[in-house]
Chains A and B, each alone.
Chain A
Amino acid sequence: MKKFMYSLIMAVFLLGGDAYGQCNPEEFTNACIPKLSQGFNFLKSYNVDGQGGSKTKVEYSYVFTKGTQYMINVCGSGGANDGIVVSLYDSKRNIVGSNVHNGQQLAAFVYPCNTTGIYYITYTFDGSKAFCGGSALGFKR
């Protein structure tokens, strides 16, 4: 009976347990905030939880103001961005830019805003292992 119970418990854990490691985005957002460049004031932090790859996109939005520079950085496991791509879209869903340049993923981008409006900050995954990270938004005038 003891052996049967043990097998049953193991089976339940294996079948119903985690298919991926738990994502703790706060750990990465906390790492990202101090990485905002000198002069940028922290505004918001964003959790990026791709739920082990089952979620392909995480999106937030924010009203950007003309005359303000915004910086968005990304932090993932291993001290880098772990394949997390952050893209910025304007209110009409036209892409404004991203942290990818000539195929290379960078840690951050800076966007001096000339048009006040709602912008969409979208996180996708390209070659990510953990599908888990954090991001910080900062501003300066």
Chain B
Amino acid sequence: MRFTGILTLMIIISSCGGEKKPSEEEFLRSLEESATTETSVDTETINAVLQQIPSPIEISMMLKESGTNYNATLLNSPENISNYNTNFQKAMNLGIFGTDLGYTNIFEQNQDGIEYMASIKELADDLSIGQFFDIETIGRLATNSKNLDSLLLITTQNFNNINSYLQNQGRSNLSVLLLMGGWIEALHITCQVAEKSPENAPLRDAIGEQQVVTESLQLLMELYAEDPTMKQLREDLIPLWEEFAKVEITVEKGETTYEVVDGIMMINDNSTSTINISPETMTNISNIIKSVRSKIIG
């Protein structure tokens, strides 16, 4: 009997992390499936879609490059943290604060950034993902604008690590909320800035081209159609998807050329895309996102 126990243990140890033979693989898969029958297929899809969503930091950089000024009134106040009691509110607003932190970082408003960092850390602790934020290091980096690259790197890595961790922990729903919150905030900021500069074509394009992202987000929402915590959000976003469906994106294919510069391949794609979004659609998108965000930030 003791011998059988040792043998079983040895088989388990020897199979850990190695290339599994078909019978072992099937056995392990059956164990996994029995534990997560309803979501095992979807989890892979969800993680693949989550990977696609562009970082809000790209939007913040675009806003800075387009010559707009920093405007703290567009952001969610870190003091609103006391309004967030449920995991849904905490995860959504963690995403929102994450985008706001990126915005303050890009515009080198480090003092504001520190306040966002404190609220982020608190929400993350409540969601048991606080271990990913080394607030001391971030605070130290934030004291000097020369550390901008390191600050951006470390905060981006933190959020990437959180998403990977949540997905590996089978808590992808929180990861979805985090990303949704981040995207909603980035779109809200862009819309607010665009309202003040209606002739700014890059801003208009930036809003219109979110149509591509909305296709992925709709898919995510569909995958969570049965999740009661997301039901209201899903319903609130339907009018937004309808407005984005009115945006027309046309692509003209061009020739691609290649050259090597300093050992790096440079791909020169001469294709172009044109985004057609009417002023009415712009206004509707702006109004809807404002209303959705208001419900989330409280």
B266 within 8 A of A: yes
- How far is A19 from B18 in the complex, measured between Cα atoms in Å? 7
Q: Is A101 an interface residue (CB 8 A)?
A: yes
B7 CB → nearest A CB, Å: 7
For the complex, give the distance between the alpha carbons of A35 and B57 in Å.
20
Chain A residue numbers with a CB within 8 Å of B272 are 114-115
Does B156 belong to the interface (CB within 8 Å)? Answer: yes
**Which of B24, B249, B264 is close to A108, meaning CB atoms less than 8 Å apart?**
B264
The answer to the question of A77 belonging to the interface, with a C-beta cut-off of 8 Å to chain B, is: no
Once the chains bind, are B10 and A114 in contact (CB under 8 Å)?
no
CA of A117 to CA of B47 in the docked complex: distance in angstroms? Answer: 18
Given known contacts A16-B21, A114-B272, A141-B62, is B52 in contact with A109 (CB within 8 Å)? no
Pick from B62, B160, B263: contact of A44, CB under 8 Å: B160
Contact at A43–B19, with CB atoms within 8 Å? no
A107 x B263 contact (CB < 8 A): yes
Q: What 1/0 flags go to A84-108 for Cβ under 8 Å of B?
A: 0000100000001111110000111
Chain A residue at minimum C-beta to C-beta distance from B62? A141
Residues of B within 8 A of A12 (CB): 7, 10-11, 14
Cβ contact within 8 Å between A116 and B209: yes
Across-interface contacts of A61 in B (CB, < 8 A): 48, 51-52
Collect the chain A residues with CB atoms within 8 Å of residue B10's CB: 8-9, 12-13
- Output the least CB separation between B164 and chain A (Å): 9
Q: Would you list which residues of chain B between 22 and 64 have a CB under 8 Å from chain A?
A: 24, 48, 51-55, 57-58, 61-62
Interface residues on A, range: 35 or more
* Contact of A114 with B216 in the complex, beta carbons under 8 Å: no
Q: Which of B19, B58, B62, B267 contacts A96 (CB 8 A)?
A: B267
The reply to whether the CB of B197 lies closer than 8 angstroms to some CB of chain A is no
B269: chain A residues at CB < 8 Å are 96-97, 111-115
Whether the pair B265, A108 counts as a contact (CB closer than 8 A) is yes
Is the pair B14, A16 in contact by a Cβ cutoff of 8 Å?
Answer: yes
Residues in chain B near residue A112, CB distance under 8 A? 267-269
Query: CB-CB < 8 A to B53: which residues of A?
Result: 63
Docked complex Cα distance between A123 and B188 (Å): 35
Check if A8 sits within 8 Å of B7, measured CB to CB: yes
Q: Chain B residues near A115 (CB, 8 Å)? A: 251, 269, 271-273
- Determine whether the beta carbon of B209 is less than 8 Å from that of A66: yes
| A22 close to B (CB within 8 Å) | yes
Say whether A110 faces chain B, with CB atoms less than 8 Å apart.
yes
Cα A110 to Cα B259 in complex, Å, equals 10
B265, A99: Cβ atoms closer than 8 Å: yes
Given contacts A43-B156, A110-B265, A115-B251, whether A20 and B58 have CB atoms under 8 Å apart is: no
The answer to whether B14 touches A41 (Cβ under 8 A) is no
A residues less than 8 Å from B126 (CB atoms): none
Contact B265 A106 (CB under 8 A): yes
Residues of A within 8 A of B14 (CB): 12-13, 15-17
Alpha-carbon distance between A44 and B256 when the two chains are bound, in angstroms: 25
* B144 located at the interface, meaning its Cβ lies under 8 Å from any Cβ of chain A in the complex: no
Q: Which residues of B sit under 8 angstroms from A67, Cβ to Cβ?
A: 62, 202, 205
Beyond A12-B11, A63-B213, A99-B265, is A54–B19 a contact (Cβ under 8 Å)? Answer: yes
CA distance A61 to B219 in the complex (A): 15
Interface centre among B15, B21, B212, B260, by most A CB within 10 Å? B212
B residues within 8 Å of A by Cβ?
A: 6-7, 10-11, 14-15, 17-19, 21, 24, 48, 51-55, 57-58, 61-62, 65, 149, 152-153, 156-157, 160, 202, 205-206, 209, 212-213, 216, 249, 251, 254, 256, 258, 260, 263-273, 275
In the complex, 17 of the A-B residue pairs with CB atoms within 8 angstroms, ordered by the A residue number, are: A19-B19, A37-B264, A41-B57, A41-B61, A41-B156, A42-B153, A42-B157, A43-B58, A45-B157, A63-B52, A65-B58, A96-B269, A100-B265, A115-B269, A116-B273, A117-B212, A139-B58
Give me the 9 closest cross-chain CB pairs, A-B, nearest first: A97-B267, A109-B265, A16-B14, A116-B209, A19-B19, A115-B273, A18-B18, A111-B267, A141-B65
